[in-house]
Amino acid sequence: MDAPGWVIPNSWANSVTDRSPARSSTRISRRCGSAIALKTSARERGRHGGRPKVVDDDMADHARALRTQGVTVPQIARELVIPSGKNKGEHPSITTVYRLLAEAEAFDDTDE
């Protein structure tokens, strides 16, 4: 008999056979779950995913007020100060201020 025209690499064949115990243990842990995971979700435990916001509502209101007075965006960025987090005490980027003002403008357009 002739051998087939293709050969399965040994490492691939082993990974396929070794995967079944991992899958079954994952299924068991998902079925049983921990007591905490079954009772509450991450959000209910105070865990919020994603990157923290740089701009709070007070800062956004102040930026909008300055913009209506005719202050340029770079000047607004220099005046604002990040209140908390890793960059506390620094100024937001000009891009952040533009994004903030654009979101506010889009929100105002949907209100009308």
Q: pLDDT of 99-110, one tens digit each?
A: 999 988 887 766
Q: Is the pLDDT of residue 36 over 50?
A: no
Of the chain, the percentage scoring pLDDT greater than 70 comes to 62
Q: How far is CA 24 from CA 13, 29, 30, 35, 49, in A?
A: 18, 9, 10, 20, 29
Q: How far is CA 68 from the centre of its chain?
A: 31
The model scores a pTM over 0.75: no
Q: Which segments of 7-69 does DSSP mark as H helices, in order?
A: 10-32, 35-39, 57-68
Q: How far apart are CA 20 and CA 3, in angstroms?
A: 28
